[in-house]
Structure 1
Amino acid sequence: MIVINNFDEYKALEGQMIGDSAWHMIDQDQINRFADATLDDQWIHTDKERAEKEGPFKSTIAHGYLTLSLIPYLWKQIADVRNVKMEINYGIENLKFGDAVPVNSEVKLQATVKSVINLKGTVKAVVEAKLLIKDHIKPAYTGDVVFLYHFS
């Protein structure tokens, strides 16, 4: 894990792949809980028998938005951004889903710092986030996550 204490340390990481999170397994229970929370119970995510018979992946798959919702959890395994009064998840740019995440797959986040700028005291960091799926060639997605930080 990399420790970032201030703007200058963050800026020094520009252009660097700074690391990977640990592997995280997405099981059916997590998929079902996400479906309940978001009211998205499409059968391809929640109906194991139907997904095995009719689905293109022969199993249920994680919701794309479930995999995106893991970014804050997995990011904190890669970078410990300290001395922050406030951190804002500002957005995701250029997001492309590349591959489905079958149930019981392990995923990990790979992060590259693309840019860090100081906007009159607010630090805007753009981090390329790539969600890798164990034993898959293509990532589940790639996108540029935008964080805003107010350092102490």
Structure 2
Amino acid sequence: MATHVKFTVTHYRRPEHTHEAFMKWIVEEHLPLAIPVLKRHGVLNYSLFTTPADLNAALRANMGGHRSGWDVADFDCFIEYTLEDVKNIAEILSDPDWAKSVEHQDDWVDTSRALMSVGYITPYLLESGEVVNVPNM
């Protein structure tokens, strides 16, 4: 069974910024500085899952009858890093170029609300439609 390390971070923007301006800052200012660091330290995949308020509102309205006890997460984005090894996280965070890539983070990110998680990812259904890692399928 193939597994990789998945490191995730949720971010809320600071209230003085719009969701659109926040995402623009991440993509146009942060990522050009961050991606060389990520590549240098063995990041296999980086994904930015954006969660605009209008989609969250629609989800909240449509899911009420299906999952009444569930809440809708209201963060602005969910960042996913796929890594070979958990040690890659420390390598990234200690890289001086990473510090430059997050130099203006406190101007944009409400870091008091950021959430991190780390674990293992095992694929079961691929984009191709292929089922993998499921016994007897």
TM-score category (smaller protein):
under 0.3
Using the size of structure 1 for normalisation, the TM-score is 0.23
Using the size of structure 2 for normalisation, the TM-score is 0.24
Between Structure 1 and Structure 2, the one with more helix by share is 2
Structure number with greater CO (CA < 8 Å, separation at least 6) is 2
